[in-house]
A and B are shown apart, each in its own frame.
Chain A
Amino acid sequence: MEDNVLLRVERLTKLFPIRGGIFQRPVGYVRAVENVSFTISRGETLGLVGESGCGKTTTGRSILRLIEPTSGKVYFNGIEITALRRKELAPLRREMQIIFQDPYGSLNPRMTIGDIIGEGLEIHKIARGKEKERRIMELLEVVGLPPAYIRRYPHEFSGGQRQRIGIARALAVNPKFVVCDEPVSALDVSIQSQIINLLKDLQRQFGLTYLFIAHDLSVVKHMSDKIAVMYLAKIVEYASTEELFSNPKHPYTLALMSAIPIPDPDVKKQRIVLQGDLPSPSNPPKGCRFNTRCPKVMDLCREVEPELKDIGKEHLVACHLWN
């Protein structure tokens, strides 16, 4: 069981200091990610859902140390990458890649897509010259773009095509693990499904392991083996996809699920609309973080923070209702 784990995250925390005063000393912290722990097995996909600003993206980037985590440990293939120095990290970039959310901003406008995709090959000494070119064309074909586009620039492509370039770029170095950071949020719905299916095909073809970040539960359901629901920097529920959808426990998860549209006009839905806004992550509410918006809030919730506990079948939930 344990050998099968590719990525283990232990109590990952990222605080962003808020600076103020004349000397710009930290006067507080934005708690973007707090004590987040999970594991992902080889070839599996963990879906990470939650609303905007809950720390999903920060979690994904901290794992790759594109953002330096404040504390916590990340093990990849048994190596503690949070303990590595910058130089030692570079070779690991070959194994761990990321697909960014914004396909417009994440490609350098001054480089041809051949250069964008090929750079990783050169840096990690995978291929050069003719061999590199052959490989780039192959990658373009894999992601469904004509290989003849190799000398074109990013601005000549549509959003969906650019995201395919982003995927080809991430895959160029043959990674084992890919963080997909809302890879379809910026795309039209019709293009979304193409990209999602492409990601699934690639996973099967290359045996990839994904951390799939999204705010759309239906997309995550389609992609993931397991799902973690995040609310205000913490994981509030974690279960296999099947278990989570058939047996959701946390009131926040229930609210998210009630927002998934059902393509049948005869089905009457009970939509749980959450009141209020997401509380400030620099000043989270006392007790359970969801207590300000929870429809089933109890007195206990305002005082004591619930722990993430296993309620059987590897289903974890952080809610007083279930403890």
Chain B
Amino acid sequence: MEIEGEMTNYIIRRLLLTIPTLIGIITITFLLMYVVPGDPIRILMGQRGDPETIAMIRKQMGLDDPLPVQYIRFLTNVLRGDFGRSYATNRPVLSEILTRFPATLRLALASMVVASVIGLSAGIISATRQYSFFDYSSMVVALMGVSAPVFWVGLLLMWIFGYTLGWLPISGYGDITYLVLPAITLGIRPAAYIARMTRSSFLEVLRQDYIRTARAKGLTERRVIYIHAMRNTLITVVTILGMELASLLSGAVLTETIFAWPGIGRLSVDAIIKRDHPMVQGTVLFTAIIFIFANLIVDISYAFLDPRIRYE
């Protein structure tokens, strides 16, 4: 009723706010490509290109038009969902991205499961048993997890489980067995990060006065931790989960390369190497949009989790 109306208002306001952000990102992406050195047409043509042909193609593609004209064209095209065509394959950028996206999505969700299951449980147990053996050891492991380079972890896992033990396929894209190693590789860093953040935010909440109030009520320790403390730590945890998921969804360059995983990460790196401007713009924009929406979802969940945010 009253609260639902407030929520709807909040969500609408928050949605409207994404519009200027989006336009800003489109503008920056456009300008970036314009100032980057290297002529894409020359690279596209290679040795074959004689100056006349290049000039003709430039004209055809509208690259000789004044900057504002190019910008408006780019902006209107993007808003219509037209990200242009790849210089390299001449296929629409958006459809290239969308064909690659399911692979990235699969990997992202799988690593997110790995990260949140390990991270949350380690974080909560560490916080409730502060200074215990479990606490110390899991925090040391978490530190290693944050510091270990992804390619090294990936190669190590491949060597142990793929090569030496032969339990799982070393690399490639296929059924669920192919998913396990890259998901763990990619999940370790966010798991460690989530564990540390969950622990510290739990410890902070456990020191609050209302936790003492909860104990004074005669509640069980379980209830104090999982009902009273949990609600107040969720904000931090949700923020981290949202941001981690967004970064996973925008593709994992190293992991995708090591495991030959056909995702967005590899697509964007290839595009940069080939100076495939429309493709680079497309992947950057796509990533930005994913971040905007992840932020939006995180913000909306804040309002559900914390009654105080709705009134601002």
Contacts and interface: CB of A to CB of B under 8 A. Distances in A.
Interface stretch (B150-158, B163-171, B204-212, B286-294): B204-212
Interface string B258-281: 000000000000000000000000
Contacts of B61: none
B40 to A, nearest CB: 53
Nearest to B306: A110
Interface string A59-92: 0000010100000000000000000000001111
Contact of A106 (B213, B218, B305): B213
Interface string B206-231: 00111011111111100100001001
A64 B305 contact: no
B209 A110 contact: no
Contact of A109 (B216, B219, B220, B308): B308
B308 A153 contact: yes
A108 interface: yes
Interface in B213-254: 213-220, 223, 228, 231-232
A94 B220 CA distance: 13
A119 B219 CA distance: 9
Contacts of A107: 210, 213
A134 interface: no
Nearest to B219: A123
Contacts of B212: 66, 100, 106
B226 to A, nearest CB: 13
A56 interface: no
B20 interface: no
A155 B309 CA distance: 11
A64 B216 contact: yes
B307 interface: yes
Contacts of B213: 100, 106-108, 166, 169
A107 B217 CA distance: 12
A309 B161 CA distance: 77
Nearest to B217: A120
Interface in A235-260: none
Nearest to A179: B216
A200 interface: no
Interface residues of B, number: 20
Given A108-B228, A109-B232, A109-B306, A102 B209 contact: yes
A107 B211 CA distance: 9
Contacts of B232: 108-110
Contacts of B209: 100, 102, 105-106
Nearest to B220: A90
A305 B266 CA distance: 79
Contact of B231 (A91, A98, A110): A110
Nearest to A93: B218
B130 to A, nearest CB: 12
A204 interface: no
B305 A108 contact: no
A239 to B, nearest CB: 30
A94 B218 contact: yes
Contacts of B210: 105-109
A91 B219 CA distance: 10
Contacts of B216: 64, 66, 93, 97-98, 170
B9 to A, nearest CB: 17
Nearest to B213: A106
A109 B307 CA distance: 8
Contacts of B231: 108, 110-111
Contacts of A90: 218, 220
A104 to B, nearest CB: 8
A123 B218 contact: yes
Nearest to A124: B218
Given A110-B231, A110-B307, A169-B213, A105 B218 contact: no
B248 to A, nearest CB: 28
B218 A155 contact: no
A108 B231 CA distance: 9
Contacts of B214: 108, 119
B217 A123 contact: yes
Contacts of B219: 119, 123
Contacts of A119: 214, 217, 219
B237 to A, nearest CB: 13
A37 B218 CA distance: 25
Contacts of B223: 123
Nearest to A98: B216
A42 to B, nearest CB: 21
Interface in A103-135: 105-112, 119-120, 123-124
A112 B213 CA distance: 15
A107 B210 CA distance: 5
Interface in A155-184: 155, 166, 169-170, 173
A170 B305 CA distance: 26
Interface string B119-153: 00000000000000000000000000000000000
Nearest to B214: A108
A182 to B, nearest CB: 13
A91 to B, nearest CB: 7
Interface of A: 64, 66, 89-94, 97-98, 100, 102, 105-112, 119-120, 123-124, 153, 155, 166, 169-170, 173
30 contacts: A66-B212, A90-B220, A92-B218, A93-B217, A94-B218, A97-B216, A100-B209, A102-B209, A105-B208, A105-B209, A105-B210, A106-B209, A106-B210, A107-B213, A108-B214, A108-B231, A108-B232, A109-B210, A110-B231, A110-B232, A110-B305, A110-B307, A111-B231, A112-B307, A119-B217, A120-B217, A123-B219, A155-B308, A169-B217, A173-B217
The 8 closest A-B pairs by CB, nearest first: A93-B218, A105-B209, A108-B210, A110-B231, A106-B209, A153-B307, A120-B217, A90-B218
